[in-house]
């Protein structure tokens, strides 16, 4: 289905409400909020040729790239990425940066996105990235907590490193809070789906001190919206709940984001023949992201 055709269907679904356009970096992103709408199929909203029903189970609350992990919401067993690999055994994933040791693990998808980000930084003259830590299993996290204590580590299951979506990035030249690599990440990581998870001015929200080295993969368009609105992951997930249907245009690509609370297995309706992703929030629901 052509994009314009889908856009007309989407407008029919939604019914435009009070819209706020937010320019970002010379209008490369625009964000709109829509009134909540019922995605259930009907003659008014579309036919079986344009939409389909998919079942969402409660387990999906704990799967995906938008999971909130902090002192309140721990990692569930089904949250751990299944594509975790040893980076030292995959030379194709470590182009343009170094590893602090040969035992660093990470989601293969996230490692590919990080490689793309490093290549983008290299085009701007930023070269000296390293990965100092990636995925940790629960046993490793527990040992780290016992060794460093609560001031420097989190208990097993309460660290984002237990997901496979987060990594600690360093500069081979200097500390990240002073390095060009750190400054570049703060300004540009969003383009590749990453966020700086623990910003300097959001300690009261995250509960974690400023960590210029800790980045987290959430994917586009979420990273772009979070950058535009200066949101932490906690704030973004609240925002998605408050504005259940959000339309975002990121560098010409259009997305629609919708939140669904899930208390038991349920069915939601999605458009056919377009790319969509479903992620849980690790709390109480899932986020549907449709790319037109």
The residues assigned a catalytic role are 211
Alpha carbon distance 243, 257 (integer Å)? 9
**Is the backbone of residue 16 left (phi > 0), alpha (psi -120 to 50) or beta?**
beta
Cα dihedral value 82, 262, 281, 1, nearest 10: 80
| Strand, helix or coil for residue 187 | helix
Alpha carbon distance 231, 137 (integer Å)? 28
H/E segment holding residue 288: strand 285-291
What is the sign of the dihedral through the CA atoms of 273, 193, 161 and 287?
Answer: negative
H/E segment holding residue 245: strand 245-250
Is 221:250 a contact under the CB 8 Å cutoff?
Answer: yes
Q: Which of 183, 210, 29 has its CA nearest to residue 121?
A: 183
Alpha carbon distance 138, 157 (integer Å)? 6
């Amino acid at each position: 289905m052509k994009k314009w055709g889908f856009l007309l269907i989407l407008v029919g679904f939604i019914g435009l409400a009070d819209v706020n356009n937010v320019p970002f970096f010379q209008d490369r992103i625009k964000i709109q909020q829509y009134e909540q709408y019922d995605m259930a199929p009907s003659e008014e909203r579309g036919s079986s040729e344009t939409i389909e029903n998919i079942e969402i189970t409660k387990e999906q609350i704990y799967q995906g790239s938008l999971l909130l992990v902090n002192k309140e919401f721990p990692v569930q067993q089904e949250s751990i990425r299944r594509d975790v690999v040893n980076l030292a055994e995959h030379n194709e994933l470590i182009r343009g940066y170094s590893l602090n040791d040969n035992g660093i693990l990470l989601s293969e998808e996230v490692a590919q996105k990080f490689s793309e980000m490093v290549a983008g930084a290299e085009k701007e003259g930023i070269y000296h990235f390293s990965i100092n830590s990636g995925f940790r299993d629960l046993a490793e996290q527990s040992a780290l907590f016992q060794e460093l204590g609560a001031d420097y580590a989190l208990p097993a299951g309460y660290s984002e490193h237990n997901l496979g979506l987060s990594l600690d990035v360093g500069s081979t030249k200097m500390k990240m809070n002073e390095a060009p690599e750190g400054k570049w990440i703060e300004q540009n990581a969003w383009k590749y789906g990453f966020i700086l998870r623990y910003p300097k001015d959001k300690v009261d929200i995250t509960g974690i001190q400023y960590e210029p080295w800790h980045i987290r993969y959430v994917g586009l368009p979420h990273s772009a919206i979070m950058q535009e609105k200066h949101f932490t992951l906690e704030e973004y997930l609240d925002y998605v709940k408050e504005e259940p249907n959000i339309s975002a245009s990121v560098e010409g690509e259009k997305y629609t984001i919708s939140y669904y609370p899930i208390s038991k297995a349920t069915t939601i309706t999605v458009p056919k023949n377009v790319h969509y992703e479903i992620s849980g929030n690790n709390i109480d629901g899932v986020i549907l992201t449709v790319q037109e």
